[in-house]
Amino acid sequence: MYDAVLFPTDGSEIATQALEHAISHAQVYNASFYVLYVIDTRFYSTSGEEFERETLSGEQILDETEAAASSQGIAATTAVRDGNPADEIVSYANDQDIDLIIMATHGRKSVDRFLHGSITETVLRTAEQPVLAV
């Protein structure tokens, strides 16, 4: 049913909890497993020290996620992108012929949610693929 599963992550605690579901789906369906970290350029410029630190942080998160998948017998393909996270997740899913996106919700509240919206909500509304929100 699912040949390719995408797990977008920001390394947060809730994303780490959602990882269990993503790995499980990849195992059950013997699916290729993709992990994506998006540097949110709505808040960072694409140059400078802050962007470099965010890139290194993203690579570390991907390494940790890849190791967790590997320990469960799942090989992961990882990528770092920059841009609007929801747009990049949907674009990556289309580029890689992803069949299922599994991602965490973040429960932003009040002004932050009003100003920035929910990445997960946007992916749910705009992705052509099914999205499992954990």
Amino acid at 29: Y
> Which domain CATH number covers 111?
3.40.50.620
Q: How many structural domains does the chain have?
A: 1
Q: Identify whether the C-beta of residue 22 lies closer than 8 Å to the C-beta of residue 102.
A: yes
Q: Identify whether the C-beta of residue 54 lies closer than 8 Å to the C-beta of residue 39.
A: yes
Domain containing residue 41: 4-133
Q: State pTM to two decimals.
A: 0.89
- pLDDT tens readout for residues 75-119: 999 999 999 999 999 999 999 999 999 999 874 444 444 444 589
Mean pLDDT to the nearest integer, 35-44: 86
| CA distances (Å), origin 6, targets 44, 48, 72, 109 | 24, 29, 16, 26
Mean pLDDT to the nearest integer, 35-61: 85
